[in-house]
């Protein structure tokens, strides 16, 4: 019997190291089955409502393909398509959708909206991205690192740039898995102080560590993986010039990558702006694992859906 304790994926802060390990192991199995053309309809007859108030490439396609491959159906709902966009409350939306579907994935701005869906709904809720967290991305990242490097515990990851939703979730995911994470951000662009405190608390129990620094070179030195993200996230376009000025020295180029381990991975959640946060020679070079990472969104999210929406006895058979 698979031991898994979660009903929702709102943030990795709620998930135990064991829950993360179960998810990664299942993602690996599902990836192998897909490569070998082995059907795995673990969610046959199930429907996933997919709410998007932020546009998407990877999140929409990976969830829609993923639920289809699991034997279910994905129902795309844009913010303009449903009454939520015309003032219906999150609580009412959650109650109504729970009468129709078996799970809800939402990609939106406010973390409070995701939490309200889980509070008032009666089906599993998956955070596809908010301004605060991006847990699905980080599970795919951990899967990618583990594929390339083996056991996660003791590995070193450096995040360079804006301390955004990806950085917040990386702090939690790395801490939960016993990794050492260093985040280099300019003043005023650090990750959430609350998340940093929580990650340090977790790392003390798992053998990991958390370093917050202003200096990219300090963060990257000896790292097994170097990660960055765009300087202006969705909804921050009006701050582009200000953010570029603050983050211009947080550019991952070949010289910075040279301070990492000789076999270090380069990671990026995409989309990427070559010539801004990352040099073309890095993202398109031999260290880059960004397209494996993007592919693993599919496999990790299939595992998330199967665990949250499926039956344990069915999962044990694969």
Residue carrying structure tokens 């897909």: 34
| Burial label, 147 (beta-carbon count in 10 A; 0-12, 13-18, 19+) | middle
**Separation between Cα atoms, residue 85 and residue 183, nearest integer Å:** 36
Sorted by where each begins, the domain ranges of the chain are 12-133+295-315, 137-290
Contact 183, 171 (CB under 8 A): yes
Q: 137-290 sits in which CATH class?
A: alpha beta
Per residue of the chain (318 residues), give pLDDT as tens: 578 989 999 999 999 999 999 999 999 999 999 999 999 999 999 999 999 998 889 999 999 999 999 999 999 998 777 777 567 899 999 999 999 999 999 999 999 999 999 999 999 999 999 999 999 999 999 999 999 999 999 999 999 999 999 999 999 999 999 999 999 999 999 999 999 999 999 999 999 999 999 999 999 999 999 999 998 776 667 777 888 999 999 999 999 999 999 999 999 999 999 999 999 999 999 999 999 999 999 999 999 999 999 987 778 777
Return the pLDDT at 1. 59
Per the DSSP assignment, residues forming a β-bridge with 75 are 49
CATH for the stretch 12-133+295-315: 3.40.50.1370
Given this model, what pLDDT does residue 3 score? 81
Q: List the catalytic residues.
A: 107, 134, 137, 229, 269, 297
C-alpha–C-alpha distance, residues 265 and 223, integer Å: 9
């Amino acid at each position: 019997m698979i031991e898994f304790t979660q009903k929702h994926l709102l943030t990795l802060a709620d998930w135990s190291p064991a829950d993360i390990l179960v998810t990664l192991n299942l993602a690996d199995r599902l990836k192998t089955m897909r490569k070998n053309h082995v059907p795995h309809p673990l969610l046959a007859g199930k429907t996933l409502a997919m709410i998007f108030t932020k546009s998407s490439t990877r999140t929409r396609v990976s969830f829609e393909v993923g639920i289809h491959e699991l034997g279910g159906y994905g129902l795309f709902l844009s913010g303009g398509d449903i009454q939520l966009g015309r003032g219906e409350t999150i609580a009412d939306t959650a109650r109504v959708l729970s009468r129709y579907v078996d799970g809800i994935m939402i990609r939106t701005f406010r973390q409070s909206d995701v939490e309200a869906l889980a509070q008032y709904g009666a089906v599993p809720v998956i955070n596809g991205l908010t301004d605060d967290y991006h847990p699905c991305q980080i599970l795919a990242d951990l899967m990618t690192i583990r594929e390339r490097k083996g056991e996660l515990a003791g590995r070193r990851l450096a995040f360079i740039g804006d301390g955004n939703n990806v950085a917040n979730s990386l702090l939690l995911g790395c801490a939960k898995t016993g990794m050492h994470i260093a985040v280099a951000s300019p003043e005023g662009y650090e990750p959430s102080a609350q998340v940093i405190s929580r990650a340090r608390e977790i790392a003390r129990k798992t053998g990991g560590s958390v370093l917050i620094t202003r200096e990219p070179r300090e963060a990257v030195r000896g790292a097994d993986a170097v990660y960055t993200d765009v300087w202006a996230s969705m909804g921050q376009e009006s701050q582009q010039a200000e953010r570029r000025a603050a983050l211009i020295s947080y550019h991952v180029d070949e010289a910075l990558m040279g301070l990492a381990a000789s076999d270090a991975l380069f990671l990026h959640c995409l989309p990427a702006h070559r010539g801004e946060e990352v040099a073309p020679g890095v993202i398109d070079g031999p260290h880059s694992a960004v397209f494996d990472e993007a592919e693993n969104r599919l496999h990790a999210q299939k595992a998330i859906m199967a665990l949250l929406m499926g039956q344990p006895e069915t999962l044990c058979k694969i």
